[in-house]
């Protein structure tokens, strides 16, 4: 039962990582798109690409939180009393990202747009950085079962740095892939090229950091490293192959629609996250608190699984409809 | 408010934690009515537009959905902060009771998801979806607004009347999900909040158009922009007052400590007076207007009804006078503002019955213009009554607030950061909404492209809708 809830939690993290991650990643490209005039087309593309979907994608995070605090309350409380600094920053980052984005969309003056845009874009980079650091702290066993772990080294350590950097880069990668597809659909070759270059660059960066990361893990989180290579190797292989395939397809434009590259790139990212879950199993925190020991009573777990099934029946079809409408360009802004 | 309740024995983090919770919840709750009830009002206008070919109603619906987009975004992210705060501020609550208290939030997750999905489809679907498909895509938003309200309030009401758990050695070992969700005070609180959302959204939106008419815009657009939401508010407010009366009697029976604080009644007695205003100092009521036997009559329909006073609460968990005053005065303000809104609703009915027009009456318009603010004050006071009125408990009878609070780190910088960022977001919201209004005033119909050099007519490649329009 606790394993089933753990799997649901991992799936929610996967969805947040891929869908929410792509939305966060646009912030990286928005931030570096240049001045108001030069960056205008790219920012407009980003606006239309994530405008209709970011709130829905963001909801996966809420799902992760409620699954964690209802299903594994001790672990939730341990994480919150240890990693409160990056989590507090992430909470504020979420506020600034969402408000900044929504405000920029409706601001009239360049100065206002710039201010809101900076709030949106910089917090879109900081938030995944924090979440990656939090994941690193949990994975490397720096959150004690009883909580109240070291408030600094729990997130300022090699695995956390790896987690943070990898999170920002994968978000950027996903965003670039999604934006390429979006620009392609809109028939905007210049923007497509712009996004494509960023997809290639961030794909290479992700690959390099991921490989280097294995060495970091070998020293800093040895069990995780072992299990990634033993239990998790098929997933790592899937990730590497999907990543390479997506990269090759992106490098040769025209051979394949960018809309088809998108799921392959997403698979590469999802497989890494799933690998993390598989490698850490059966532990929830480091190597000291397992899913079973952290679990809430059986009746709570049953209720959570019922909620998960309801989500599968109600939310997933609705979400698919939203994503299909968005990708077909049926959701657009404008008063009239 | 909790500055004064800080006793020597309380942990140092209690004050900033409570201040931050009050501040962020108080901020978020203003946006909730717009997520819950504004879409309903928008759908009414949309329906009119489609059914009666009413161009002005259609334009209102479209613009309202744009406003909703901004408010929903701020509501969604400020709600997320509250989720984080469950752990960052109150780890003791989640650790011990997360298995029960957390569950309604899981249900809320589904509703919030559906709301976020269909809000997006509704807001962005005006151009490309068929009109009726688009209209009906708003319905899940309205329904999940109801479901989401019920779920969150289920968690809150569980803290007031915890049930459905078996505790052994300080650990929750079994949870009766149904009883947790539908706890004793669930229906009272849930319906009260749902109606509050419709009251706030109705009067606030109506107020915007009342201001417009007062400034001389006597057109049909402003007229129906006033009438539709005002009707929603005017229907909701009498129901809300009746509901409030029922709830007060429930609190009298089920939560005597909170009732004693609401009435600021020092001693248990029959013929208990209803005190309007006033403050309790050293166990004595000062400056209040007392209605003889009022509290007894209202709670038991007889002057001989015995009402428990604060002295019936065991001394270690008895709220101090200053806390009682906060609860008592908030309750009075909530009821007072509620009745003021009821008066406004009756005035509306009277004017409508007399002449089918409200615009010529400037005093009425002025009253409508401020009614949204009055409704928000009422909403805030209601939450203060239920939250502060529960102190010193977080979960009544089970968990003291001082045992729930975060003990790691220092919460003051976190609170400071929250004040700073939320102030920025408030200013940003005002600017954003003013920007929308100005854009409508200029008759601009497309989204604004970025940058000073960007000519809207040239289009930006990212917006296919623009290409179509040209």
DSSP codes of every residue in B224-244: HHHHHHHHHHHHHHHHHHHHH
Chain A partners within 8 Å of B124 (Cβ): 51-52, 331-333
Highest-pLDDT range among A179-183, B58-62, B200-204, B390-394: B200-204
pLDDT at B456 over 90: no
Per CB-CB distance under 8 Å, the chain B contacts of A44 are: 449-450, 460-463
Q: Which of residues 134-163 of B touch A (CB under 8 A)?
A: 140
- Count helices and strands in chain A by DSSP H and E runs: 15, 2
- pLDDT for the residue B438: 84
Count of positions (residues) in chain B: 470
- The whole-number pLDDT of residue B435 equals 86
> CA angle, corner B410, sides to B406 and B416, nearest 5?
110
Interface of A with B in 135-194 (CB under 8 A): 147-148, 151, 182-183, 186-188, 190-191
- Verify whether the Cβ–Cβ distance A69 to B465 is below 8 Å: no
Asked whether A70 and B105 are in contact (CB, 8 A), the reply is: yes
Which tokens sit at A136?
């690193």
Q: What is the pLDDT of residues B402-435, one digit of tens each?
A: 999 998 888 999 999 999 999 999 999 998 898 8
Cα nearest neighbour of A333 on chain B: B124
Indicate the residue of B86, B102, B438 with minimum beta-carbon distance to A108: B438
Determine the average pLDDT of the residues in B80-98: 92
> Does residue A254 belong to the interface with chain B, where contact is any CB pair within 8 Å?
no
A101: enclosing H helix or E strand:
helix A84-106
Residues of B in contact with A304 (CB under 8 A): 103, 106
Inspect the interface and report whether the beta carbons of A96 and B106 lie closer than 8 Å: no
Please answer yes or no on whether A331 and B124 come within 8 Å at the CB atom: yes
Q: Using the beta-carbon criterion (under 8 Å), do A334 and B445 form an inter-chain contact?
A: yes
Q: Give residue B444's pLDDT.
A: 53
Across the interface, which of A70, A85, A321 has its CB nearest the CB of B102?
A: A70
The minimal CB distance from A95 to the residues B77, B95, B454 is found for: B77
Q: Between B99, B452, B460, which is nearest A297 by CB?
A: B99
Identify whether B215 is preceded by a cis peptide bond (ω within 30 of 0).
Answer: no
Return d(Cα B385, Cα A31) in angstroms, integer.
Answer: 44
Q: In chain A, pLDDT over 90 holds for what percent of residues?
A: 65
Contact present, A67 and B85 (Cβ < 8 Å): no
Better pLDDT: B454 or A300:
A300
What is the SS3 assignment for B334?
Answer: helix
Question: Which residues on B lie below 8 Å from A117 (Cβ)?
Answer: 450
Mean pLDDT along residues B293-313: 91
B238-266: average pLDDT: 94
Q: Give B27-89 as a DSSP string.
A: HHHHHHHHHHTHHHHHHHHHHHHHHTT-HHHHHHHHHHHHHHHHHHHHHHHHHHHHHHHHHHT
Contact A63 B109 (CB under 8 A): yes
Res A234: pLDDT: 93
B103·A304 Cβ contact <8 A: yes
For residues A47 and B446, which has the higher predicted lDDT (pLDDT)?
A: A47
**Alpha carbon separation from B179 to A26, A295, B93, B161, B182 (Å, rounded):** 44, 20, 19, 10, 5
- The residue-averaged pLDDT of A115-133 equals 94
Asked whether the beta carbons of residue B428 and residue A148 sit closer than 8 angstroms, the reply is no
Q: Which of A62, A191, A336 sits opposite B83 (nearest CB)?
A: A62
% of chain B surpassing 90 pLDDT: 74
For residue B418, the surrounding DSSP H or E stretch is helix B411-441
Decide if A55 and B70 are in contact by the 8 Å CB cutoff.
no
Q: What is the pTM of this model?
A: 0.91
B12 CA: distance to closest CA in chain A (Å): 16
- For residue A117, give the chain B residue with the closest CA: B450
- Residue in A with minimal Cα distance to B55: A336
Q: In whole angstroms, give the CA distance from residue B80 to residue B28.
A: 10
pLDDT beyond 50 at B462: no
pLDDT-derived band at A334 (thresholds 50, 70, 90) equals: low
For tokens 């409380």, name the residue: A77
Give B386's contacts (C-beta < 8 A, 6+ positions apart).
B156, B160, B189, B258
Do A94 and B109 make contact, defined as CB atoms within 8 angstroms?
no
Which domains can be identified in chain A, with CATH numbers? Answer: 2-328 (1.20.1630.10)
Beta-carbon separation of A322 and B110 below 8 A: no
- Write out chain B residues lying below 8 Å of A47, CB-based: 447, 462
CA distance A1 to chain B (A): 14
Which tens digit of pLDDT belongs to each residue from B111-157?
Answer: 999 999 999 999 988 888 899 999 999 999 999 999 999 999 999 99
Q: Which residues of B touch A49 (CB under 8 A)?
A: 462
Instruction: Tell me the pLDDT band of A329, cut-offs 50, 70 and 90.
Output: confident
Three-state DSSP state, A252: coil
Contact with chain B for residue A62, Cβ under 8 A: yes
pLDDT value of residue B268: 93
Cβ contact A97–B77 (<8 Å)? yes
Q: Do B96 and A73 touch (CB under 8 A)?
A: yes
**How far apart, in whole angstroms, are the C-alpha atoms of residue B466 and residue B470?**
6
Using pLDDT thresholds of 50, 70 and 90, give the confidence band for residue B461: very low
CB-CB: which of B408, B440, B460 is closest to A41?
A: B460
Distance from CA of B353 to the nearest CA of A (A): 35
Query: Does B113 contact A at CB distance below 8 Å?
Result: yes
Nearest to B446 among A190, A307, A334 (CB): A334
| The predicted structure's pLDDT at residue A255 | 67
Q: Which residue of B has its CA nearest to A59?
A: B113
Please indicate if any CB of chain A lies within 8 Å of the CB of B85: yes
Tell if the CB–CB gap between B447 and A334 is shorter than 8 Å: yes
Q: Which 8-state DSSP code applies to residue A256?
A: S
* CB-count burial class (<10 Å; 0-12, 13-18, 19+) for B101: buried
Query: Among residues B37, B41, B22, B44, which one has the least CA distance to residue B72?
Result: B37
pLDDT range class, residue B288, cuts 50, 70, 90: confident
In chain B, pLDDT over 70 holds for what percent of residues? 92
Res. B1: pLDDT tops 80: no
Is the pLDDT score of B273 beyond 50? yes
Mean pLDDT, chain B, whole residue set: 88
């Amino acid at each position: 039962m606790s394993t089933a809830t753990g799997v649901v939690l991992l799936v929610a993290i996967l969805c947040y990582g891929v869908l929410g991650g792509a939305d966060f990643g646009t912030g990286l490209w928005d931030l570096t798109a240049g001045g108001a005039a030069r960056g205008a087309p790219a920012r407009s593309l980003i606006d239309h690409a994530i405008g209709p979907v970011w709130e829905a994608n963001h909801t996966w995070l809420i799902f992760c939180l409620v699954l964690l605090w209802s299903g594994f309350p001790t672990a939730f409380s341990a994480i919150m009393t240890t990693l409160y600094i990056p989590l507090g920053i992430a909470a504020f980052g979420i506020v600034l990202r969402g408000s900044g984005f929504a405000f920029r969309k409706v601001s009239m003056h360049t100065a206002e747009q710039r201010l809101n845009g900076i709030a949106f874009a910089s917090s879109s980079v900081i938030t995944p950085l924090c979440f990656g650091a939090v994941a690193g702290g949990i994975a490397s066993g720096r959150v004690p079962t009883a909580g109240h772990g070291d408030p600094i080294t729990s997130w300022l350590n090699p695995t956390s740095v790896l987690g943070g950097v990898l999170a920002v880069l994968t978000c950027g990668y996903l965003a670039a892939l999604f934006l390429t597809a979006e620009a392609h659909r809109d028939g905007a070759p210049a923007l497509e090229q712009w996004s494509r270059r960023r997809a290639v660059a961030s794909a290479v960066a992700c690959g390099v950091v991921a490989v280097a990361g294995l060495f970091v893990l070998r020293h800093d989180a040895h069990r995780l490293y072992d299990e990634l290579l033993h239990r998790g190797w098929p997933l790592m292989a899937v990730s590497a192959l999907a990543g390479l395939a997506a990269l090759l397809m992106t490098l040769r434009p025209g051979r394949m629609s960018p809309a088809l590259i998108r799921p392959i790139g997403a698979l590469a990212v999802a497989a890494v996250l799933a690998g993390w879950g598989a490698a850490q199993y059966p532990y929830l925190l480091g190597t000291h608190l397992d899913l079973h020991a952290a679990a809430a009573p059986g009746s709570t777990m049953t209720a959570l699984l019922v909620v998960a099934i309801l989500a599968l029946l109600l939310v997933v079809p609705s979400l698919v409809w939203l994503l299909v409408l968005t990708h077909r360009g049926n959701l657009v802004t404008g008063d009239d | 408010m909790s500055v004064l309740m800080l006793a020597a024995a309380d942990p140092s983090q209690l004050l900033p934690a409570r201040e931050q919770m009050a501040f962020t919840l108080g901020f978020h709750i203003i946006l909730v009515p717009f997520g819950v009830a504004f879409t309903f009002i928008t759908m009414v206008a949309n329906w009119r537009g489609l059914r009666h070919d009413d161009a002005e109603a259609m334009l209102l619906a479209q613009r309202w959905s744009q406003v909703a987009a901004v408010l929903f975004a701020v509501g969604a992210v400020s709600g997320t902060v509250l989720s984080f705060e469950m752990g960052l501020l109150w780890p003791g609550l989640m650790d011990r009771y997360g298995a029960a208290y957390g569950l309604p939030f899981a249900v809320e997750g589904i509703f919030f998801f559906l709301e976020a999905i269909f809000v997006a489809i509704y807001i962005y679907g005006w151009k490309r979806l068929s009109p009726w498909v688009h209209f009906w895509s708003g319905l899940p938003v309205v329904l999940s607004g109801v479901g989401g309200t019920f779920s969150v309030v289920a968690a809150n009401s569980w803290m007031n009347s915890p049930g459905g758990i078996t505790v052994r050695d300080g650990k929750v070992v079994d949870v009766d999900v149904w009883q947790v969700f539908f706890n004793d005070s669930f229906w009272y609180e849930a319906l009260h909040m749902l109606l509050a959302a419709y009251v706030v959204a109705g009067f606030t939106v109506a107020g915007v158009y009342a201001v417009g008419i007062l400034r001389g815009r006597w057109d049909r657009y402003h007229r129906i922009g006033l009438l539709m939401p005002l009707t929603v508010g005017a229907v909701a407010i009498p129901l809300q007052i009746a509901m409030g009366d029922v709830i007060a009697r429930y609190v009298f029976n089920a939560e005597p400590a909170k009732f004693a604080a609401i009435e600021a009644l020092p001693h248990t007695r029959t013929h208990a007076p209803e005190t309007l205003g006033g403050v309790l100092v050293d166990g004595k009521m000062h400056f209040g207007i007392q209605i003889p036997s009022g509290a007894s009559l209202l709670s038991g329909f007889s002057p001989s009804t015995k009402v428990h006073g604060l002295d019936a609460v065991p001394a270690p968990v008895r709220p101090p006078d200053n806390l009682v005053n906060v609860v008592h005065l908030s309750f009075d303000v909530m009821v007072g503002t509620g009745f003021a809104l009821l008066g406004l609703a009756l005035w509306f009915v009277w004017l409508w019955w007399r002449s089918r027009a409200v615009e010529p009456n400037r005093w009425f318009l002025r009253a409508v213009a401020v009614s949204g603010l009055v409704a928000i004050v009422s909403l805030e006071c209601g939450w203060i009554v239920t939250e502060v009125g529960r102190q010193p408990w977080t979960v009544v009878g089970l968990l003291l607030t001082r045992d729930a609070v975060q003990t790691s780190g220092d919460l003051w910088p976190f609170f400071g950061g929250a004040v700073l960022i939320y102030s920025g977001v408030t200013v940003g919201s005002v600017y954003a909404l003013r920007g929308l209004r100005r854009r409508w005033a200029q008759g601009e119909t497309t989204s604004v492209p970025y940058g000073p050099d960007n000519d809207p007519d040239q289009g930006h490649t990212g917006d296919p809708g623009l290409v179509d329009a040209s």
